[in-house]
Amino acid sequence: MQYARHYTIINTMKINEKLTALIKEKGLNYHIVTYGCQMNDHESEKLGGILEQVGYVPVNTIAEADLILFNTCCVRDNAEQKVYGNVGALKKRKEENPDLLLVVSGCMTQQAQAANKLAQTFPFVDIILGTHNQYELAELIAERLLDGKTILNVLPEATGVHEDIPVKRQGGPLAFVNIMYGCNNFCSYCIVPYVRGRERSRLPQHIIQEITELVQNGYKEVMLLGQNVNSYHGEGSVSFPQLLQMICEQTKISRIRFMTSHPKDLSDELIAAMAAHPQICKHIHLPVQAGSDSVLYTMNRGYTRGQYLLLIEKLRMAMPDIVITTDIIVGFPGETVHDFEETLSLIREVRFDSAFTFVYSKRSGTKAAKMEGEIPPEEQRDRIVHLIDIQNAITEEKNKAYEGKDECVLVESTSTRDKNHICGRTEGGKMVNFAGDEGLIGSFKTVHISQAKRTTLFGELR
Ligand code: SAH
Ligand code: SF4
Ligand code: F3S
């Protein structure tokens, strides 16, 4: 099915001066807890931007906060259960301090039934909003604090692309930049299209302008974000590879990454753009989900095993050292032992640098929720353990191949374990830990890799 492309740009932030005065007078502060993907991490940066614009000050813990915001995820059941547990745990604090403001937003509460259930289970929650009206946060807080209303406000559909939301970035030399929102793919297991709405692409000039400002503010690397970045369709029919080229030519950003790419939209033009521009990191996250054609078909992924393998071949032909990572779901309804073995044989054949592996989780409202042939939980667990064992060995072997090599690392932070160590990522996105001064954060350094473990490479400054 074809959907209309949305370019509607909306500037909607409304700031109530009475609210700002009240927050500043009381010296109120906030803490955000984020669940889910990088899209949500970035949305929390925007929610933080709104809160700071009206005068809230950030604090590092829930215990110190006057406003606690949970930005939720619902991609799997365990993500939702965590939210219920963590919100429920605040009941006593809310009783002791009725002025404490509890806000729940995001993908989980975008589902009307989950928002209602949350409001009924935890009537002490002050504000519930979805993904489509996060720009209204300041107005909703004003209604709560000035008018005393408890608010459940979830918009059924996205209204367009909001361009005036301030962003409170987490710091470091990396910045998230949304290029599109929503998803039109309706993979049969996935709730995202229902809670994020249809695809909406930002205008190319807004993306270029944001990256130009980031460069002026010292950022070195951008992560372009979208549920499916390679379906980007900017005004004037600008495609994703064209957007990448524009960013490379019109901005001075040193490194560009993007996430997530969908195999069905991975064009030869995109591969050529990645190979042609040194600023574009030679790393692609390309979720395969399953190795058998029948499971890929019932998942509605839009490609076959053979087509996926051909893409891997093309990527490696164009960029022999490219780092390829993936997502895999095991125990999808109807997945036979043979189907699962096809997934194992695919990961052995491709040799991904790493993989996020998930047990299938039934999401109500999706097509797969009505499918027969559910796999018993014990069988799902056995399969994922087996899969992880094989992938871990591959990941370790792949990392070992870096031992003895020099890698260019963008230094991001000091190590959490040892203050005299700093860490950063290679172009392929691998984390490297080495002795060095925190003054190097934000610069590119050549590091000699001396030891490789499964999750981290260790080395010395050249
Ligand atoms: N838009 C991205 C990411 C979507 S969510 C993409 O298409 O790749 C991230 C991952 O969560 C998916 O790639 C998938 O592997 C996993 N996932 C989504 N729905 C799931 C479900 N119902 N059960 C288990 N894993 C799921
Ligand atoms: Fe979900 Fe598929 Fe869209 Fe990814 S592409 S968000 S897995 S429906
Ligand atoms: Fe979760 Fe929403 Fe991201 S469901 S994975 S936070 S898009």
Instruction: Please name the residues in contact with 99: beta carbons below 8 A apart, sequence gap of 6 or more.
Output: 66
Whether ligand 1 lies within 6 angstroms of the CB of 285 is answered as no
Distance, in Å, from the CA atom of 253 to the CA atom of 228, rounded to the nearest integer, reads 22
Position 204 scores a pLDDT of 96
Position 404 scores a pLDDT of 98
Position 335 scores a pLDDT of 98
Query: What residue type is assigned to position 41 of the chain?
Result: D
pLDDT, tens digit, for every residue of 348-407? Answer: 999 999 999 999 999 999 999 999 999 999 999 999 999 999 999 999 999 999 999 999
User: Beta strands 174-178 and 221-225: pairing type?
Assistant: parallel
Element (H or E) spanning 206, and its range? helix 204-216
pLDDT, tens digit, for every residue of 151-187? Answer: 888 888 888 889 889 999 987 899 999 999 999 999 9
Question: H-type helices in 277-419, by residue range?
Answer: 293-298, 305-318, 337-350, 377-400
DSSP lists the bridge partners of residue 165 as none
Mean pLDDT of 277-287: 98
Give the pocket of ligand 2 (CB within 6 Å).
Answer: 183, 185-187, 190, 192-193, 227-228, 262
Distance, in Å, from the CA atom of 67 to the CA atom of 58, rounded to the nearest integer, reads 10
Position 155 scores a pLDDT of 84
pLDDT, tens digit, for every residue of 76-87? Answer: 999 999 999 999
209, 212, 218, 220 alpha-carbon torsion, rounded to 10°: 110
Which residue, 399, 415, 408, is CA-closest to 451?
399
Closest protein CA for atom 12 of ligand 1: 327
Distance 399 CA to ligand 2 centre (A): 29
Mean pLDDT of 244-256: 98
User: Beta strands 127-129 and 151-153: pairing type?
Assistant: parallel
Mean pLDDT of 334-356: 98
- pLDDT tops 70 at residue 220: yes
Q: Is the peptide bond before 414 cis (omega within 30 degrees of 0)?
A: no
- pLDDT tops 60 at residue 1: no
The overall average pLDDT reported for the chain is 95
Q: Which ligand is nearest to the CA of 41?
A: 3
pLDDT, tens digit, for every residue of 45-76? Answer: 999 999 999 999 999 999 999 999 999 999 99
Position 108 scores a pLDDT of 96
Mean pLDDT of 9-38: 91
Mutate to test the pocket of ligand 1, among 329, 343, 387, 391 (most ligand atoms within 8 A of CB): 329
Position 3 scores a pLDDT of 64
